[in-house]
Amino acid sequence: MVIFIDDKPVKIISKKKFQHLHGSDFDTIIDARLEQLNEKKLKGHVIVLNTSAATIEKFFRLLGAAKDFEYQSIVFIVDDKEAIEEQIKSYYRVVKAAGGVVFNHENKILMMHRLGKWDLPKGKRDDDEKSKDTAVREVAEECNITVVLGEKICTTWHTYAMGGSRILKRTKWYRMNCIDDSEMRPQLEEDIEELQWMDDKQIQKALLNSYSSIRFVFDELRKREKEL
């Protein structure tokens, strides 16, 4: 599980997969059995070994108290991954959403400019709606195009604040093919300013002004393409 908190990746990894990591990938190594977390230690790319529920609780208390952390990413190594993930979810109101990476016949991908950032079309799931249906509906509403649903790419989690509440949004992402963009237009009431079909070079430039969670979606998409 990767959660983007304030657009910074926080990863939860079980000890079983710990052997695939390398110490040289991190600026700071903390052993939670030997030392407590504090704001001064959380700098650069951080890995926290022997993470417990108390370690996670301490981290989120620090998040609530500190104005700005200097860390760029954090990896927590845990015994019980599922339990830790449920603990983290309990700190937020979970909102479910779905979206799409849409390809056209030229193999270009549809990007949208919203609130000063390049983004992908997505939206909240209605009650009793399947995520696949949400993804297709939201793409149609935000872009006014017709698509055919493909395979699932990945799931992202990111946090934000709304009306005094802490929100954790879970978004399921699907690959899609556009079959009609003749009346494509941005949904202005959703603050979408521009829609643009982009090739690989344009996408790389756009991702410089995007979100870490969106860059993660593209990373997962490319991994899947290499596997085919």
| 25-48 confidence digits (pLDDT tens) | 899 999 999 998 888 888 899 999
3-state SS of the chain: helix, strand, coil percent to 5? 30, 40, 25
Q: Are 179 and 106 in contact (CB under 8 A)?
A: no
Choosing from 89, 106, 139, the residue where a domain stops is 89
Tell me the residue range of the domain where 143 lies: 94-227
Name the pTM for this structure: 0.90
Q: Which amino acid is at 178?
A: C
What pLDDT, on the 0 to 100 scale, is given for residue 126? 92
Question: Helices marked H in the chain — which ranges?
Answer: 53-65, 81-89, 131-143, 200-206, 212-227
Q: Which residues, 6+ apart, have CB-to-CB distance to 102 below 8 Å?
A: 109, 110, 121, 139, 143, 145, 147, 176, 177, 178
How many domains does the chain fold into? 2
70 and 120, same domain (yes or no): no
Assess whether pLDDT exceeds 90 at residue 21. Answer: no
Other CB atoms within 10 Å distance of the CB of residue 216: 18
To the nearest 10 degrees (0 to 180), the angle between helices 81-89 and 53-65 is 30
Same domain, 117 and 215: yes
- Residue 6 tokens read as 């304030």
Residue that terminates a domain, selected from 64, 89, 114: 89
> Is the domain of 78 the same as that of 128?
no
Query: Residue 69: what pLDDT?
Result: 74
